[in-house]
Amino acid sequence: MKEFFELLKKGKFKAIFLDPTDNGFLQFFRYLFVGGIATVVDVLFSFICKYALVQLTDIQEQIVYIISTTVGFTGGLTTNFLLSRAFVFGTKEARAKTKVGEFMGHFIVGAIGLGLSHLIIWSGTTYIFNSYEIFRLVAIVIVFIWNYLARKFFVYKK
């Protein structure tokens, strides 16, 4: 954290955002931005899909939630993979030998996160109160933490 504040104090934004780093705090800080961008893509895709499906079909609400969350997940996962690789963990830190292997690791972590999202949204809207938007946002926070930690320790080198 000390390195981050020193760089910030000196105005070295390139080092904060772009230069390769093993500093865990800098990586987490960058992942906040990457995750934020991926989350915006995810939420936009899922909300647009949800409202389109509700307006254009008579599919059961719970199925609409699953479809829209999956659509959002796909857009967010792709965005997160590309930006994490470029700005957070670096291409040399991947445990996998190929880009496909690296993406598969990224995908597996994300798929578990998707499962957590579905579980949170389904259980929240079924047993607590029916508000997709609120439980979608709760899921985003929980899954964000899971995604960062799992990718840092399982997909990329420590």
Query: 71 near 46, Cβ under 8 Å?
Result: yes
pLDDT of residue 86: 87
Give just the sign of the alpha carbon dihedral 9, 148, 133, 83: positive
Query: 115 near 66, Cβ under 8 Å?
Result: no
pLDDT of residue 132: 83
Query: 116 near 143, Cβ under 8 Å?
Result: yes
pLDDT of residue 45: 94
How many CB atoms are located within 10 Å of the residue 5 CB?
10
Contacts of 111 (CB under 8 A, 6+ apart): none
pTM, to two decimals:
0.76
Give just the sign of the alpha carbon dihedral 84, 71, 61, 56: positive
- Residues in the chain, total: 158
* Residue 52, token pair as written in the block: 């389109």
Below-50 pLDDT ranges, the chain: none
Separation between Cα atoms, residue 24 and residue 20, nearest integer Å: 12
pLDDT of residue 21: 83
> Distance from first CA to last CA of the chain, Å, rounded?
17
pLDDT of residue 158: 56
**Phi, psi at residue 18, to the nearest 5°?**
-120, -35
pLDDT of residue 48: 94
